[in-house]
Chain A
Amino acid sequence: MANEESRKEKQEEKKPTPNAVPAVEPALQDKDQDDKDQNDKDQDNDACVIEAVIPKMELVDAEAVPRSGQAPSEATAAAPKAKKPEAKEKADEPELVRAAYEHPLAIRLTHWVNAISLFVMVTSGLRIFRAFPSFGPKIPEKVLLDVPKSLTLGGWLGGALQWHFTFMWFFAASGIFYVLYQIASGHFRTLLFTPRDIPGVWPMARHYFLFGPKPQQTGQYNPLQKLAYTSAIAFGALSLLTGIVLYKPAQFSWLAFLFGGFHLTRIWHFAAMCGFLAFIPGHLIMVALHGWSNFYSMLSGWKREPEYQE
């Protein structure tokens, strides 16, 4: 669908003088503009903007959720066909804020359910680990790691198991729903780490850790973020599958076999938690460094002044 046409139709419903926009726009075309934003929102101009902005915003809101999944590809496909007059900001027009609807409701819900579940699973899991803090034999038993009680949840083994066996359902349900949603919506392309992202990892790491120059970012996530998020999902899958084996090793003996037996599965399960423990501080530090609008976007979906251009 062509942006231009649909936009006109929408405006006709809301606006008594529909011809105003197309008549004015071509005259204002400015090819020297840097801003390559292809969305119709930035095509507002001085002649119509005051009346046009409000009705159009309502359209955006109504479409907010489905849009985030498919719209980017749609917009790029439609862009070459549509004439693309670009914004020319003048002092007397209302100030517009660049914003992106980054996180659909399903992602935000699963993110927070998962964050809570993960906290419970790790702290109760550490309490369970205290009951036998070893991966070796029971006789002779060696204490591999003495986890401080204060870092654990549940009070004792039985209590911790209750938390673990309760939140495993939230953890599994949010994780499975999240992955299915990412696949169905196509949204996974924004964060799935692929071999193409490999060359971008080092420059980004150099920027973060060695104060190197900041590589130009095109998509929502940079290669290092993609690597982090993709591995977090992998840790989730690993902890879920190994958890199933530890919970029901006799029923899922084939799965136990895949992980190298009951013993190794317990190590894998612990390793998955270590993966999360490596991911979480980095994630939290980056969120803190990027400030409120970045954090708030995981609550409201909308990010003010995103740092990328597309």
Chain B
Amino acid sequence: MITRLEDKELKRMSRRQLLKLVPVAALGVFAFPKVSDRLVAAGVRFSDWAAGETFRRQHLAQTYADSQVVPFEKFPYNGYDVLDPEVDLEKWTLTVEGDVQHPGEYMLAQIQALPKISQNTRHVCVEGWDVVGSFGGSRISDFLKLVGANTSARFLEVECVDDYYESIDMESALHPQSLMCYEMYGQPLDRKHGAPLRLQMPTKLGYKQAKYLDTVRITNVLKPGKTGYWEDQGYSWFGGL
């Protein structure tokens, strides 16, 4: 729609409209690294909050037929440091502490005595690749019952033999597909995949699936800077799928 205006008038109105755009310039603060580092970290926290709020504990991740599972040789080994921290499988026990009724050392046999779940689910790496694998283990929720954990606590923290550490929200821990995994492809977990025990949660990214578990702690507080190996460097803490 064309109008005819005096030049002065057009300039005046153009300026006035231009000024209304000034709030967009606020995004310019992202150009300053010191500020943007904090802002994008806050952006990830906000995303994590939104992901946590919308997480549905009863919504199952897709499972796959045996024919859709990648061959064992094509399931990548991934670690942050050494792939085989030389766990003494004979003497290995899992330390359970924190907000639980029965803290102490647990043997693998006690975990294996819980109902066994086998599932073919997708393992998604934060890098972008993914594989459908075959996993077996006990539900984390069953294990938490066994140790008398207070499931209204907020977090499950784990420490690993290779000094890796992780923490997950209780909702995700109680998800029916979240496992204390001791088998892959129907065989005991091999050393490089985290023997004797690892986390396996199809609702979480790969870096949340800590291997070579050493300690499980139920807690309401996470120490800042000690929430997870990669998370402390900037990865999303929720890491949900």
Contact = CB atoms under 8 A, between A and B. Distances in A.
Contact of B236 (A39, A165, A299, A302): A165
A44 B1 contact: no
Contacts of A194: none
Interface stretch (A233-241, A244-252, A276-284): A244-252
B235 to A, nearest CB: 5
Interface residues of B, number: 59
B70 interface: yes
A272 interface: no
Interface string B11-52: 001111110110110010010000000011111101100010
A179 interface: no
B4 A41 contact: yes
Given A87-B4, A251-B241, A139 B235 contact: no
A304 B11 CA distance: 10
Interface stretch (B55-63, B87-95, B107-115): B55-63
Contacts of A166: 39-40, 42-44, 46-47
B122 interface: yes
Interface stretch (A11-19, A23-31, A156-164, A222-230): A156-164
Contact of A95 (B6, B54, B130): B6
B130 A116 contact: no
B39 A95 contact: no
A302 B2 contact: no
Interface string A150-178: 00000011110111011111100000000
A132 interface: yes
B44 A75 contact: no
Listed residue (A98, A109, A159, A165) with the most chain B CB atoms within 10 angstroms of its CB: A165
Given A131-B127, A132-B125, A132-B128, A162 B43 contact: yes
B236 A96 contact: no
B54 A251 contact: yes
Given A158-B230, A302-B17, A132 B4 contact: no
Contacts of A196: none
Interface string B96-131: 000000000000000000000000001011111111
A302 B1 CA distance: 11
A80 interface: no
Contacts of A71: 1
Contacts of A263: 130
Interface residues of A, number: 73
B40 A61 contact: no
A253 B13 contact: no
B126 A157 contact: yes
Contact of A57 (B9, B126, B203): B9
A168 B43 CA distance: 9
B184 to A, nearest CB: 15
Contacts of B51: 248
B128 A162 contact: no
B76 interface: yes
A307 B9 CA distance: 20
A50 to B, nearest CB: 10
Contacts of B75: 139
A300 to B, nearest CB: 4
A253 to B, nearest CB: 5
A131 B21 CA distance: 37
A296 B7 contact: no
A251 B59 contact: yes
B241 A99 contact: no
B223 interface: no
A129 interface: yes
B234 A158 contact: yes
A132 B20 contact: no
A121 interface: no
B6 A97 contact: yes
Interface string B219-241: 00000000000100111100011
A137 B132 CA distance: 11
Contact of B27 (A116, A139, A300): A116
Interface in A246-295: 248-251, 253, 256, 262-263, 266
Given A75-B1, A139-B73, A166-B42, 19 more contacts: A57-B9, A60-B5, A61-B13, A61-B16, A64-B17, A87-B4, A97-B6, A109-B21, A131-B127, A131-B128, A132-B127, A137-B129, A159-B234, A161-B235, A248-B51, A251-B203, A299-B17, A300-B14, A310-B1
